[in-house]
Structure 1
Amino acid sequence: MLQHLITQDTGLRMVPTDRDELTTAVDQLHEELRALPEGADLARTRVLTRWIGIGEMSLGNHGEARTFLRQSLDLAAAIGNTRAVVATGLNLGDAHRYAGDIHAADALYRRALDTARGQHPELVDFALQHFGKHLTEQGNLAPARAHLEEALRLRLAKGEPELIDSTKAALDRVALLIDQANAKASAGDGATPGQWSGRWTSWLQSRTTARTPARWAKEFPTLRDAVSGLTAHQRVHPRHLRDQSFPAELIAAMAEEAEKAVAADGYLHNGKWNAAVGNAANRFAGQVDLAAVVARSPGLEVEQPHTAVYIAYLEEGQFLDFHVDEFGFGEANLILCLKHGRPTGAPRVSTTVFINADGYLECDLAAGDCVVFDGALTPHGRTSLSAGESVTLISFGFRARAQAPRTITHLPPVPG
């Protein structure tokens, strides 16, 4: 309806090809909407309000855009047009993002992606594209790239050149931003943040393993000095939190959502199953002040979580070897156990384990338990599952509030 009058700027946001022409076209849609008789076809009203909202957003009128897109989204839901719910939800997410309302945008993108995965697989690539752009603007470049790469795979399968080119442009922007960030960050050995984390992980895994607890005591003396130098810079020390009184019904809802997400769209990453979070996780994060939970433990003031992922261990012998996370996940992590299926009579169950200056800290997590730690500077992993055992978790990432973003400039280089 207005596609020919809208293009993208260098930041991949929608802008007019000709401002006067787009303004005239939007005014005409306003007139058509006002001229509709009372009780007119709701479907037509939905279409008009959606395109008015998109046009106003492209013109920079964000308040008007949100008003009309919200009306269109409500109409789509009332009519039962779930396909339009997804598409308009993404548009409304864009309108909030353009206006700087990041939390509302994030929730809308997640909801649209969840609905698309569940009901409209043909729209998943669009949801991933919009969400990927949002993550890019927030500086979450690793997850942005992952979302956009998945979108590209889907669009290559569709074989639609314009969609493919659009996603490639978004990936090119992510690559440019990663290069710029890497150019600004340097350490004593010249490593980029991603290289620094990867080298530390490789060094740790060459000297110990979460698979074989018997090696820990034997190998720890060779790790002590290096790990002490690393963890001295932690903003959050590992702590096992029990009895947090999280609503049991929300924990159960996330456990059910995680099981379905892993079965439908799970992907193996570093030996564990990962899956995108959905509405149940968003409800939990909206009702529970997780930032306060983190702050009570280490005293670090953080923002509400900016990212989350479901994690599952389902097979005997599955484990997660020691590693450090990339910086993009945040200065604080909270891993919450949603379900821990324990075999009767097993001599040992799987635990979350950390290496710190004093040795190894094992945390046996039951449903509702959580651990708070600094994933970028705390070597961590999970020991092997026993026969018949399963573990389902959700991991949240937090950014520090009112503190300068962390760089690797003053952090210890990887030991030689």
Structure 2
Amino acid sequence: MLQHLITQDAGLRMIPTDRGKLTTAVGQLREDLRALPEGADPARVRVLTRWIGVGQMCLGHHEEALTFLRQSLDLAAASGNTRAVVATGLNLGDAHRYAGDMRTADALYRSALGTARSQHPDLVDFALQHTGKYLMERGDLVGAEAHLREALRLRIAKGDTELIGSTRAALSQVEQLIEQAAAPGADNAVPRQWSGRWTSWLQSNTTARAPDRWAEDFPAIRSAVRGLTVHQRVHPRHLRDQPFPVESITAMAQEAEEALTADGRLHNGKWNAAVGDAANRFAGRVDLAAVVAESTGLEVEQPHNGVYIAYLEEGQFLDFHVDEFGFGEANLILCLKHERPAAAPAVSTTVFIGADGYRACDLAAGECVVFDGAITPHGRTPLGAGERVVLISFGFRARDAAKRSAAHLPAAPRRVR
């Protein structure tokens, strides 16, 4: 309806090809809306309000865009037109993003993507495209790249050259940003180096491989770890009684096994695989941000990323480390499956180093642990014979405006050995 009057700027946001013509066209749509008789077809009202909202968004009239798009979305939901719910939800997410309301935009994008995956597979590429551009603006370049690459695969399968070109343009921009971020002197070079130095120091002075060494190791690292963990916003907590749907845990465990078999990659001693529909449905069904907030007191946004993790071979372990800053201020690791021989003398555990020593969490299926992965040294002890562990890890950003900077955190000490 207005597509011929809309293009994209260098930041991939929608703008007018000709501001005057778009303003006139939007004005005409508003006249058409006002001219509708009482009791007019709600579908016609929905279409007009949607395109008026999109036009106003492109013109920078944020409040009017939000008003019309919300009206259109409500009409789509009331009529049960879930295709329109997805499409208009993405438009409304864009409008909130353009207006600077990233929190509401995040919820709208997640909802639209979840509905598309579960009910309208042919719309998934559109939802991925919009969500990927949102993640790019938020600075989650890894998440943006993953969403856009999935969108590109789907669009290549569709064979629509215009859509393929749009996604390739967005992906190219994300890749350039990733290259810039990795360059020496980039803004994130300091936190990346900080995390790497702490991980190197931890692994030089203790190990998750040999728990029998912990009592011997800890006196030498106590002061440094205390100086680090005093900055935690989330202290490790083992949550055993969360009412997560059993069928969701089972579905994610199956999806994880399939993803690990098809596309798993070995990373830092563990197997990683991208999450899929089952994980997205779970995140849409369960308010994970509330789980973190209720258990830790830290208000967080809904998870901005997730990954399946598996330990499958005897002796496999994850040595102590701290995560890079980009994963967020809070992490939630949920156990999907933990197979172990009944008579095993010891089992593999998720383990943390805190101010007072080492803490091991033996996670069973459906149990989780929340912690601050960027500040808390953590790892996993070795698997025993016949043991297998499958997990999903989610990252969360704090809702408050406080920004954590590596410049204000203690530097890793020099090696003590």
TM-score normalised according to structure 2 size: 0.77
Distance in 2 of aligned mates of 1:108 and 1:314: 34
Q: For residues 342-364 of structure 1, what are the alpha-carbon distances to aligned partners after superposition, in whole Å with 9 as ceiling and x for unaligned?
A: 55333333321124566532111
Distance in 1 of aligned mates of 2:160 and 2:78: 32
- 1:248-397 to 2 correspondences below 5 Å: 248=243, 250-252=244-246, 254-256=248-250, 258-259=252-253, 262=256, 268=264, 270=267, 271-275=271-275, 277-285=279-287, 288=290, 290-295=292-297, 301-309=298-306, 311-313=308-310, 315=312, 317=314, 319-337=317-335, 340=338, 343-356=341-354, 359-366=357-364, 369-385=367-383, 387=386, 389-397=388-396
- Secondary structure at the residue paired with 1:354? strand
CA separation of 1:49 and 1:194: change in aligned 2, threshold 3 A: same
- 1:35-50 to 2 correspondences below 5 Å: 35-37=35-37, 41-50=41-50
Distance in 1 of aligned mates of 2:251 and 2:215: 41
Amino acid at match of 1:290: V
- 1:13-28 to 2 correspondences below 5 Å: 13-28=13-28
Distance in 1 of aligned mates of 2:157 and 2:199: 35
Q: For residues 197-235 of structure 1, what are the alpha-carbon distances to aligned partners after superposition, in whole Å with 9 as ceiling and x for unaligned?
A: 45655676688764x446754994798389638835642
1:406 aligns with 2:405: yes
Distance in 1 of aligned mates of 2:123 and 2:368: 35
1:274 is displaced (CA, Å) by 4.3
May I ask how many residue pairs the two structures share in their alignment?
Answer: 403
Alignment counterpart, residue 231 of structure 1, candidates 217, 220, 228: 228
Kept in 2, the 8 Å contact 1:251–1:338? The answer is no
1:106 is displaced (CA, Å) by 0.9
- Secondary structure at the residue paired with 1:278? helix
Q: Which residue of 2 aligns with 1:68?
A: 68
Q: Which residue of 2 aligns with 1:95?
A: 95
1:327 is displaced (CA, Å) by 0.6
Kept in 1, the 8 Å contact 2:352–2:359? The answer is yes
Provide the identity percentage: 55
Structure 1 gaps, min length 5:
296-300
Distance in 2 of aligned mates of 1:7 and 1:288: 39
1:103 is displaced (CA, Å) by 2.2
Alignment counterpart, residue 237 of structure 2, candidates 237, 240, 264: 240
Structure 2 gaps, min length 5:
none
Amino acid at match of 1:309: G
Kept in 2, the 8 Å contact 1:208–1:219? The answer is no
Distance in 1 of aligned mates of 2:30 and 2:234: 56
Kept in 1, the 8 Å contact 2:250–2:336? The answer is no
Distance in 2 of aligned mates of 1:78 and 1:286: 27
1:262 is displaced (CA, Å) by 3.5
- 1:99-110 to 2 correspondences below 5 Å: 99-110=99-110
CA separation of 1:388 and 1:354: change in aligned 2, threshold 3 A: closer
1:18 is displaced (CA, Å) by 1.6
Distance in 1 of aligned mates of 2:15 and 2:216: 59
Amino acid at match of 2:228: T
Q: Which residue of 1 aligns with 2:135?
A: 135
CA separation of 1:223 and 1:331: change in aligned 2, threshold 3 A: farther
TM-score normalised according to structure 1 size: 0.78
Distance in 1 of aligned mates of 2:245 and 2:405: 32
Kept in 2, the 8 Å contact 1:336–1:394? The answer is yes
RMSD after superposition: 4.0
1:100 is displaced (CA, Å) by 2.6
Q: Which residue of 2 aligns with 1:298?
A: none
Q: Which residue of 2 aligns with 1:11?
A: 11
